[in-house]
Amino acid sequence: MSKFSIEADIRSKLAVVLGFSTIAVFIQHIYVLSFILIISIAAALLFGANILKAIKTTRNLWYLFFIIVILQSIFSRSGQALLAINGFPLITAGGVLKGGEFLMRVSVIVFSATIISTSNSREVVQGLVQLKIPYDIAFMVSVAIRFLPLLRSEIKDTFTAIQLRGLDLKKIPLKRRIRVYLYIFNPVVAGAIRKARGLSIAMEMRAFRAYRKRTSFLKLRLSAADYFIMVFTLIFTSAVFVMFYYFNFPAGII
């Protein structure tokens, strides 16, 4: 965590993420989304999130996002034609705007989600439990977070192993390459099932759910700063919605 980061409770971080994500999902306006993106990056940095690492980790997802942006630009046609073939508008101003909005929306969700990564998995579980989320569900969330890197490395090993069988993926036509990708699912899914089974046995052995009420050594306490963050997030989110839907600000572009 950087020297200038804010030490906050996971519940206030969850409130910030929820606020930004809600705006990103419900408001479809490039200016608002751009503004929220800047705010969410600033907030992530303030909470000590490693933005560059998050971009690197989600590198492959961004390629997918860009493909969706291009497809959206082509298939949503409205406004002035920017590129036309034989009079048929292929790329329009409205399409580009929609693509841009999509990119802004996923960026807000990804960057604001990095705020949660500044807390460890134990704090996340405890935060959810203290928010009255059942422990079983909270624990599942923490298991998912903990197993993601493991799953990633297993997929990578499997991908390497299938190529080492003598398959030069770059030289295989797309149709046959898809068949290769389907074979990758087998060891990955089988491994995940095996791990889940092993984990459930280990949990039973450690008396998971043996008692209805569960006590915890770790207790999270909200500080004045946390209350401020939560109230500010609520006011900010509400203000953005009121400005957009009630005062129609900013006005539509196209």
User: Would you give the binding string for another protein spanning residues 132-171, x where CB under 8 A is met?
Assistant: ----------------------x--xx-xxxxxxxxxxxx
For another protein, give the closer residue by CB, 87 or 166: 166
Question: Residues 16-55 vs another protein: string with x where CB under 8 A?
Answer: ----------------------------------------
Query: Three-state secondary structure along 80-109?
Result: CEEEEECCEEEEEHHHHHHHHHHHHHHHHH
- Judged by DSSP in three states, 11 sits in helix
Q: Tell which positions 191-230 bind another protein, by CB under 8 A.
A: 191, 194
Q: What is the DSSP letter of 252?
A: P
Residue type, 245: Y
**168 exposed, middle or buried (CB, 10 Å; 0-12, 13-18, 19+)?**
exposed
Of 172 and 234, nearer to another protein (C-beta) is 172
Pairwise CA distance, residues 213 & 158, whole Å = 41
From candidates 84, 137, 190, 202, binder to another protein by CB under 8 A: 190
Residue nearer to another protein on the CB measure, 165 or 212: 165
Residue 184 sits in the site that holds another protein (CB under 8 A): yes
Q: How far is the CB of 168 from another protein (least distance, A)?
A: 3
With beta carbons less than 8 A apart as the criterion, state whether 76 and 100 touch.
no
Strand partners, 92: 81
76, two tokens: 């949503």
Minimum CB distance to another protein smaller for 201 or for 235:
201
Q: For another protein, give the closer residue by CB, 197 or 214.
A: 197
162 or 243: CB nearest another protein: 162
Q: Which member of 41, 70, 93, 180 binds another protein (CB under 8 A)? A: 180
CA distances 171 to 36, 84, 86, 168, 181, Å, are 43, 34, 35, 6, 14
Alpha carbon distance 254, 247 (integer Å): 18
Number of residues that bind another protein (CB under 8 A): 26
Q: Which residues bind another protein (CB under 8 A)?
A: 154, 157-158, 160-172, 176, 179-180, 183-184, 186-187, 190-191, 194
